[in-house]
Amino acid sequence: MDACGGPLGNLTAHVWLSLQNSMILSAAIFITLLGLLGYLHFVKIDQETLLIIDSLGIQMTSSYASGKESTTFIEMGKVKDVVINEAIYMQKVIYYLCILLKDPVEPPGISEVVPVFQSAKPRLDCLIEVYRSCQEILAHQKDTSTSP
Amino acid sequence: MACRGGGGHGQPPSATLFRVSPGNLSTRRTLTHNICMVSDFFYPNMGGVESHIYQLSQCLIERGHKVIIVTHAYGNRKGIRYLTNGLKVYYLPLKVMYNQSTATTLFHSLPLLRYIFVRERVTIIHSHSSFSAMAHDALFHAKTMGLQTVFTDHSLFGFADVSSVLTNKLLTVSLCDTNHIICVSYTSKENTVLRAALNPEIVSVIPNAVDPTDFTPDPFRRHDSVITIVVVSRLVYRKGTDLLSGIIPEICQKYPDLNFIIGGEGPKRIILEEVRERYQLQDRVLLLGALEHKDVRNVLVQGHIFLNTSLTEAFCMAIVEAASCGLQVVSTRVGGIPEVLPENLIILCEPSVKSLCEGLEKAIFQLKSGALPAPENIHNIVKTFYTWRNVAERTEKVYDRVAGEAVLPMDKRLDRLISHCGPVTGYIFALLAVFDFLFLIFLRWMTPDSLIDVAVDATGPRGAWTHQCPHRIKRREKNKMFKAR
């Protein structure tokens, strides 16, 4: 009995230890996976879209790496203008495109500035392309709204 | 506007020394510079350095140069803003340590400053004021990046106390490899050359200026039944407020028909209030407190005599402003003050209560006997002396000269530091310069110059502001935005 109990006790201790180890290990793997999923689902943006329709408004969609999409819609009546602005961001000075919203209380004022392409941060030449098309559509919208 | 920025990508990323203007400019110059003014002190902070930077920049823009200003964030005012005529100001989010001067570690400002220098295609860095840590930082980094550097010193300094010994050492290090230094008066030049152990040939004297149209006399605003003495200065030790507190009772006792108007705020205001209390002069000594720059003229024109009691002064703007308003100036003979005005417009005294009282009595006697020239005449003489256009022209000559010079390469710079700044400091700063260089290489590897968008020029030969309809740029509460329809 005695001769047998020693190795058996050793074995149980060993199994318990490896079990404990694997528990920590699996927990670590689980948390990492969860973190990764969370990152893909909430942080990493794969694609940003700006859809502007002159009779309706502006829709901004960002699709996350997991496939989740979040959409913001601004109706045309609220949009004052689309402009390119400069800002100090981290250790850089960047250009960004933003939408200016009308102030409902005080019409010539601006109530809010909504930045576009926040995660992609395209460079100036790209922004100018987008900016030009936006301005064309906005000008068209203003023409049609004032002509009738 | 935007399309011009897009065209900027075609330029070579390396900093060109100067650009040839397209020729459609009204100015006949062919050499234009991209100038970056760096100082901790800029509006909304008020003072001589601030207005100097602003006015000089405006005149340089008028002459076709591109000018940007870099300063630190003031409270809620951070980011990029545009002032009159497209003067672009970067308010960088750096921590303020003491007296509106930023804290410095010598390195932490490099990434942002380098980014700005590259995106704005800056060719000349012009730093202002030896009290500004950011100005010295910018000089240090600019030399590492191989850009031309100019420094303007706005103040005089002593040699004896511990703080000036340390500041002077720092100034030696900072200026020993700077291309050119500008001082505001000959006294200031002498002082700077001695403090920083410089070669006097690379130091120029360009005085400050005042806008004479802002300081016009108005004799109807003052009452000729009483004599009014005006003092406008910060009420601090350097400005001689202690002398003023000795003069007030003495002069007031001697002349019953005499009033004081004192504009300005500061820690020494309390002693003036004590004097006023003790001698019962509440109705004769008027303390106005802090004045805005636009109100200064309205205060000056109420007086007959302007009193300046400064103990040290590189170039006294206040006395020029006062003389431009047609006041008789009585001042201490310190620093650069004797150079500022011709002898018939100023009464100079020793910085003591007795001498200043004698000076004031002389001025009062001249006033009573009608020997003083009319305010309008004084104004007409003074307005030709110091103009910003003249300052800008002379500064431009410095830029032209600097643009032709070579920036010291790294090995020569290290030699200069070691040989020029003493064995210990020299080696320490040579080491720091090497670190700065390595940090720059690292930054260039992280974000190569080619990945940095070239900024749309607001001013200068390709300036969007000057060449397109100015009404396209509109101001917003937080930032100013571009638009181009």
Of A85, A93, A124, the CB nearest to B5: A124
Q: Is A147 on the interface with B (CB under 8 A)?
A: no
Report d(CA B171, CA B176) in Å as an integer.
Answer: 8
DSSP B330-392: EEE--TTHHHHS-GGGEEEE-SSHHHHHHHHHHHHHHHHHT-SPPHHHHHHHHTTT--HHHHH
- SS3 labels along A62-102: EEECCCCEEEEEEEHHHEEEEEEEEEEECCEEEEEEEEEEE
What is the share, in percent, of chain B residues with pLDDT greater than 90? 50
Instruction: Domain B219-385: give its CATH code.
Output: 3.40.50.2000
B19-45 pLDDT tens trace? 333 434 444 456 889 999 999 999 888
Residue-level length of chain A: 148
Measured between beta carbons, the chain A residues lying within 8 angstroms of B2 are 84, 128, 131-132
B390-439 pLDDT tens trace? 999 999 999 999 998 888 899 999 999 998 888 899 999 999 999 999 99
Measured between beta carbons, the chain B residues lying within 8 angstroms of A94 are 453
Interchain CB contacts (distance < 8 Å): A and B = 60
Report d(CA B61, CA B85) in Å as an integer.
Answer: 8
Cβ burial, residue B289 (10 Å; 0-12/13-18/19+): exposed
Of A91, A113, A125, the CB nearest to B112: A91
Answer yes or no: do B92 and A94 touch at CB < 8 A. Answer: no
Answer yes or no: do A88 and B80 touch at CB < 8 A. Answer: yes
pLDDT band at B128; cut points 50, 70, 90: very high
Give the least confident one: A69-83, A111-125, B138-152, B217-231. B217-231
Token pair, residue B89, equals 């100001």
Q: What is the mean pLDDT of residues B13-21?
A: 37
Bridge-based pairing of strands B31-32 and B19-20 is antiparallel
Of B6, B78, B92, the CB nearest to A128: B6
Cα angle B69, B70, B76 (rounded to 5 degrees) comes to: 110
Partners of A76 in beta bridges = none
Higher pLDDT, B224 or B466: B224
Domain ranges of chain A: 1-43, 45-146
**Phi, psi (rounded to 5 degrees) for B250:** -60, -50
Exposed e or buried b for every residue in A71-84, given b needs 16+ CB within 10 A? eeebebebbbbbbb
Q: What is chain A's percent helix, strand, coil content, to nearest 5?
A: 45, 35, 20
Residue linked to tokens 């108005």: B218
Specify the domain boundaries for CATH 3.40.50.2000 within chain B.
2-209+390-476, 219-385
Report d(CA B258, CA B252) in Å as an integer.
Answer: 6
**Phi, psi (rounded to 5 degrees) for B456:** -70, 125
Measured between beta carbons, the chain B residues lying within 8 angstroms of A138 are none
Asked if residue B280 has pLDDT above 50, the reply is: yes
Asked if residue B376 has pLDDT above 80, the reply is: yes
Give this complex's ipTM: 0.79
Q: Which residues contact B148 (CB under 8 A, 6 or more apart)?
A: B17, B123, B124, B125, B142, B179, B402, B403, B405, B407
The CATH fold assigned to B2-209+390-476 is: Rossmann fold (3.40.50)
